[in-house]
Chain A
Amino acid sequence: MYTFSSKLKTVAIFFMILGILGIGYGFLTAPKNTAEVEEILKKEAEEHGGHHTAAGHDAHAHPVKEAHTTETHDNHDAVAATEAKPEASMADSVHIDTISTTEDTAHAAISAEESHKNHAAVAAHEEHEAHAAHTKHVEHVLHQLQNKPWAAVYVAALFFMFISLGVLAFYAIQQVAQAGWSPVLFRVMQGITAYLPWGSVFVFILLALGAFHFHHLFVWMDPELLDPASPKFDKLVSNKSGYLNEYFWLLRAAIFIIGWNLYRHFSRKNCLAQDEATDNSFYKKNFKLSAAFLVFFIVTESIMSWDWIMSVDPHWYSTLFGWYVLMSFLVSGVTVIALTTLYLKSKGYLEYVNKSHIHDLAKFMFGFSIFWTYLWFSQFMLIWYANIPEEVTYFITRIEQYNLPFFGMLVLNFVFPILILINTDFKRLTWIIVMAGVVILAGHYVDFYVMIMPATVGDRWFIGFAEIGSVLFFLGLFILVVFTALTKSPLLAKRNPFIEESKHFHY
């Protein structure tokens, strides 16, 4: 039996307290009204200095921004996509920063058209319009800044829940595949999935808060977008309202979460019952349960990724998005299994885990990292290549406003693992696995960050107190829940039919 070391418990609680302070700071410093945003904008303009005075900046920015806000009805990502760019792309026609100039060209064309349209409007009632545009811009920034702490919590809550979900899926696969190497790790995996009920409750609460308009991470929830009489009416969103409406959306979320948690509950129960059994009936039950779960999981995972992640950009859609999200958290899950196993092994709790088990986990980390990259690239390259405006805005915002995290995560999630974990001897070294594991986890946090943030906070992102605080809070909770769960049952399944093979597994 494992005993939770008091040191680790203290660290976990310390992380949670620190996290709550960070999250609280994030919420307290978010601007409450437009006046505060005016202050912030003024300060920024002064800091940028030189040719920009506050007033000059505003006047300069208006025409284009006005066009955007009316055209896109507060759609954050579309605004964000174009907002930052036009002045720049008009002024310096060669923009070296990004991969593609075609994007810029397309962009410039759009903004030219827009500003052309705009000239008439400006000529008609210049002053009045300018003022309205400025108010709109301030409001837009206010929404982004108010979203920021919410988005920070949401990303971290999703990330940690996904880790335990990824472990659950991996565990089910191992059961169904009748893997001979992994049964000695089943209790570790069950310990990690103990976070799933906690994590899914947090995520569900965050989703419900969105549905009840406490936060505005999901733009499609704005009822005005569906009202044809409203100036904010959005035909694209209203056409999707049969699927994207709060009640159906929450109902789906509840079904997914309940389904996953039921599997976790009964799988663990059967596994413990198998320890005391005289035949293999509980093992067989678990086998069937896991097979059924995997079917349920792949359907719900796909829908979940549209609902919880893709729908922050309701104008955008991608077919392989579900797979992409799945690989991101499956590799994180396997990495966490490896790290937890190494920790427990180093404390002397896992007698039968040897270097070959670690080697196998490291191979999964390596292979899944490459598969993640394959899906990332497939999604990116297809959209980049065809360059259809309605799809490509997704990547334009990311390349222009999130350049470092967007491409940096490729280094963390692909280049680093492929170079480090390709070596067979390295895959058996604890410190290499720990180092690669930490890098992979950081990389996949950034991955989820880049999925959520551009649509919710746009170019107002930075990794500050709220982001670090949320990660620390959920990390602390994760450690606390997982290691408490590990103390509840023996770390070695007794009567699993494959346990002998697994104990002597040797590669």
Chain B
Amino acid sequence: MSNKVIYAIYNDDDVLMDAVKQTRAAHHHIEEIFTPFPVHGLDKAMGIAPTRLAICAFIYGVCGLAFATWMMNNIMIADWPQDIGGKPSFSYIENMPAFVPVMFEMTVFFAAHLMVLTFYMRSRLWPFKSAENPDVRTTDDHFLMEVAVHGDENEMISFFQNTGAVEVKVIEKH
């Protein structure tokens, strides 16, 4: 089976959006779209499932809150309950207002950093990663849609030329 894909290149995001809608209507499978900047509504037009990153962040935040609470309780109340400036150290709740700034910051810290790490991992981004750019112009002013070739190759090429592509290429992928 051949691993041929079509690179349809556009130079306007409105044209791209229309092309995506037509491609979806024609039941061609869009492998990937490369754009130089976020195109509002592209994910919806492509039918990509919404991100669950926010849910992750909430859970990380709760972990941070729990960690801060455990830490402050362990240090300030359980391990060595000193009298520091008359602050009550008999139980956690009695001295809680003093711990709230720490609890808050920890919550934000965990939520923010773990969410960013999750984002990097899920989108496979790390230093020294080799770029997966099919065409250098897509980082500047061109939009590229990659579609797997199934069936008649020439028919597909003419289809994409009709969607307003400035360039349509067929590439053999390894």
| Interface residue A159 (Cβ < 8 Å from any Cβ of B) | no
Secondary structure dominating the interface of A = helix
B73-81, B82-90, B121-129, B152-160 - the one binding chain A = B82-90
- Distance, CA A387 to CA B58, complexed state (A): 35
- Distance, CA A422 to CA B55, complexed state (A): 10
CB contact between B97 and one of A105, A385, A422, A424 (< 8 Å): that residue: A385
CB contact between B58 and one of A99, A380, A422 (< 8 Å): that residue: A422
CB contact between A101 and one of B88, B97, B98 (< 8 Å): that residue: B88
| Interface residue B59 (Cβ < 8 Å from any Cβ of A) | no
Supply 27 A–B pairs (Cβ within 8 Å), ascending by A: A99-B88, A99-B93, A99-B94, A99-B96, A99-B97, A100-B88, A100-B94, A100-B95, A101-B88, A101-B90, A101-B94, A102-B86, A102-B87, A102-B88, A105-B86, A377-B97, A377-B100, A380-B97, A381-B97, A381-B98, A381-B100, A384-B97, A385-B97, A385-B98, A387-B86, A422-B58, A424-B54
Closest A-chain residue to B98, C-beta based?
A385
List, in ascending order, chain A residues with CB within 8 A of B94's CB: 99-101
List, in ascending order, chain B residues with CB within 8 A of A102's CB: 86-88
* Shortest distance from the beta carbon of B151 to any chain A beta carbon, whole Å: 37
B-to-A contact residues, CB < 8 Å:
54, 58, 86-88, 90, 93-98, 100
The 6 closest A-B pairs by CB, nearest first: A381-B97, A101-B88, A102-B86, A384-B97, A100-B88, A99-B94
Binary interface profile of A, 50-88, with partner B (CB < 8 Å = 1, else 0)? Answer: 000000000000000000000000000000000000000
Closest A-chain residue to B93, C-beta based?
A99
List, in ascending order, chain B residues with CB within 8 A of A385's CB: 97-98
Known: A101-B88, A381-B100; 9 extra A-B contacts, CB below 8 A, are A99-B88, A99-B93, A99-B94, A101-B90, A102-B86, A105-B86, A380-B97, A381-B98, A387-B86
* Shortest distance from the beta carbon of B93 to any chain A beta carbon, whole Å: 7
List, in ascending order, chain B residues with CB within 8 A of A100's CB: 88, 94-95
- Distance, CA A422 to CA B95, complexed state (A): 28
Closest B-chain residue to A106, C-beta based?
B86
List, in ascending order, chain A residues with CB within 8 A of B95's CB: 100
Query: Which of A101, A105, A384, A387 neighbours the largest number of chain B CB atoms within 10 Å of its CB?
Result: A101
- Distance, CA A424 to CA B58, complexed state (A): 13
List, in ascending order, chain A residues with CB within 8 A of B93's CB: 99
- Distance, CA A177 to CA B86, complexed state (A): 48
- Distance, CA A297 to CA B90, complexed state (A): 45
* Shortest distance from the beta carbon of B64 to any chain A beta carbon, whole Å: 15
* Shortest distance from the beta carbon of A353 to any chain B beta carbon, whole Å: 22
- Distance, CA A101 to CA B86, complexed state (A): 9
- Distance, CA A169 to CA B64, complexed state (A): 36
List, in ascending order, chain A residues with CB within 8 A of B54's CB: 424
* Shortest distance from the beta carbon of A433 to any chain B beta carbon, whole Å: 19
